[in-house]
Amino acid sequence: MENLLEVKNLNVDFQLEQHVIHAVRGVDLCVRPQETVVVAGESGSGKTVTALALTRILPPNARITAGEAFFDGKDLLALNERELEQVRGSKIAYCFQEPTSYLNPVYSIGEQICEAVIFHQHCSRKEAEKEAARLLEDVRIPDPRRVLASYPHQLSGGMNQRVFIAMSLACKPRLLICDEPTTALDVTIEAQILQLLKELKARHGFALLFITHNLAIAKKIAQRIYVMYQGKVVEGDETSRIFAAPRHAHTKELISAYEKIGKL
């Protein structure tokens, strides 16, 4: 099957005052249409930087020094800013951890979803309001009209994460990138969000690139796993093989750690 996303030799550096940090080093990975791929690794391993580099939403002191990232046959890293704007949100969408950090506290949920819908779908306000309610229903939020009139601080963490997922899906992306979306949630809500993502993926047919440090989550949802360590992909394979016969020492350490706490 042809890849939806194919990353080759991606390198990202961070320029600090006195030195350069090589945050991502020679990363290769791919995602097939409608596939769930997990990028797993400890904090600081380069997972998030890799994901952000795909659409060049990196901090000002970061620089992509080498690599290619083909999406639908086009190298994202070679696109100009105007071309890239046609990809962000509409074809590749992101869902981050701590949704309240990204939702604006002074605007209602409805205003924020409608803004995203109008920007990407070029529809009227009335049409956007109807679509916003439909999106909240799609992520299984009860009483969507009440939630549309609410503000982020009036909702629970789990509800805000569902809102964020709804906003991410507003433009029917082909690839959804989830960066630790359940980290701040308790285990019950975490399980609900993971199940929701599975259902939405099956219903809408998008591919899912899921970033996590949690191998228990990776084992539940991934068809393939890439393990990152110190900025590099040290192992990548089908999920069953990663857990049955891990090759790299760091992969073995991660699996052992989760087995010891009874999570695998």
Residues 222 and 162 in one domain: no
Tell whether the model's pLDDT for residue 261 goes beyond 80: no
Alpha helices (H) in the chain, listed in sequence order: 47-54, 81-85, 109-121, 125-138, 144-148, 157-168, 187-204, 215-221, 239-244, 249-260
pLDDT digit string (tens) for 98-143?
A: 888 889 999 999 999 999 889 878 889 999 999 999 999 999 999 9
In the prediction, which pLDDT does 249 show? 94
CA 149 → CA 91, 114, 123, 141, 251, distances in Å? 28, 12, 20, 13, 46
CA 6 → CA 37, 68, 73, 88, 123, distances in Å? 12, 8, 9, 17, 32
Tell whether the model's pLDDT for residue 190 goes beyond 70: yes
Residues 52 and 120 in one domain: no
Tokens of 118: 């109008």
Residues 83 and 201 in one domain: yes
In the prediction, which pLDDT does 113 show? 94
pLDDT tier for residue 262 given thresholds of 50, 70 and 90: low
- Residue 33 is classified by DSSP as T
Q: How many domains does the chain have?
A: 2
Task: Tell me what the mean pLDDT of segment 194-221 comes to.
Answer: 95
Residue at a domain's end among 126, 150, 170:
170
pLDDT tier for residue 203 given thresholds of 50, 70 and 90: very high
Task: Tell me what the mean pLDDT of segment 34-48 comes to.
Answer: 96
pLDDT tier for residue 90 given thresholds of 50, 70 and 90: confident
Task: Tell me what the mean pLDDT of segment 145-172 comes to.
Answer: 93
In the prediction, which pLDDT does 148 show? 96
Residue at a domain's end among 141, 170, 199:
170
Residues 84 and 11 in one domain: yes
In the prediction, which pLDDT does 202 show? 95
Residues 215 and 144 in one domain: no
CA 174 → CA 55, 151, 177, 206, 218, distances in Å? 14, 29, 10, 5, 21
Question: What average pLDDT is seen over the chain?
Answer: 93
Residue ranges making up the domain that contains 52 = 1-91+173-264
Residues 17 and 78 in one domain: yes
Dist CA 161 CA 240 (whole Å): 29
In the prediction, which pLDDT does 1 show? 66
Residues 157 and 219 in one domain: no
Count how many residues are written for the chain.
Answer: 264
Residues 72 and 134 in one domain: no
Range of lowest pLDDT (6-10, 57-61, 95-99, 153-157): 95-99
In the prediction, which pLDDT does 7 show? 98
Residues 1 and 26 in one domain: yes
Measure the CA angle with vertex 143, ends 137 and 144; round to 5°. 50
Residue with tokens 């701590």: 98
Residues 152 and 106 in one domain: yes
Task: Tell me what the mean pLDDT of segment 190-195 comes to.
Answer: 94
- Whole-prediction pTM value? 0.93
Residue at a domain's end among 151, 170, 189:
170
Residues 65 and 192 in one domain: yes
Residues 74 and 1 in one domain: yes
In the prediction, which pLDDT does 9 show? 98
Tell whether the model's pLDDT for residue 179 goes beyond 80: yes
